[in-house]
Amino acid sequence: MQIALLGGTGDIGEGIALRVARDTDHAVVVGSRDPEKAADAASSYAATLADHGVDTDVDGAANPEAAAGADVVVLAVPAYHLTDTIDAVADDIRDAVLVSPAVGMKRDEDGMHYNPPGVGSVTQLAAANAPEDIPVVGAFHNLAAGRLAALDADLDWDVPVVADDDAAKGTVTDLVADLDGLRPLDAGGLENAAEVESLTPLLINVAANNDGLHDLGVKFW
């Protein structure tokens, strides 16, 4: 498959790109609104992979070009850029699965708080704005981006996956399962996305208020 990471120059995009390129045979394309920035990031990721003994190409392109040939399109952008990003590539997505890892959050003096859009969750917002017949899957919401991008770091995290389309959910579940240290878990349909997304500000607050708990993830027993 070809995996496109729109906004793939950011933290979560970097981590997913590196892990997919290292642990699978899937082609990775880094997307950005700025194609030069995408190309620079792709070159940097390829160099990081080479330093870890992985000889593979990572391509970079403007978001529409990255999305055009992809089987899985990951919206690796902040929640406030989600709808603009979808609109920018809507005419270019063909037979792809759209994946949303974004979480709406706000910060005040007490810490981070879940801040979902009116439709209930950011994943549901992606589904409401996706092109017709393009399935949306929620995944990768609760991953600490810094640790994900550190290829020397061992992971032991669960990844709840939500979707209404069983085939699309299966595609993303298989992709997650191929990444070392990540275990996909079926968390139900898109109506359950808010419960998954709301874990992220909790993890950030716990990490900020407790020594030695930086880069938290979730693990279910």
Digitized pLDDT (tens) for each residue of the chain, 221 residues in all: 999 999 999 999 999 999 999 999 999 999 999 999 999 999 999 999 999 999 999 999 999 999 998 999 999 999 999 999 999 999 999 899 999 999 999 999 999 999 999 999 999 999 999 999 999 999 999 999 999 999 999 999 999 999 999 999 999 999 999 999 999 999 999 999 999 999 999 999 999 999 988 899 999 99
Helix axes 11-23, 35-51, angle to 10 degrees: 50
Domain boundaries, the chain: 2-209
Please identify, in words, the CATH class of the domain defined by 2-209.
alpha beta
Residue type, 167: A
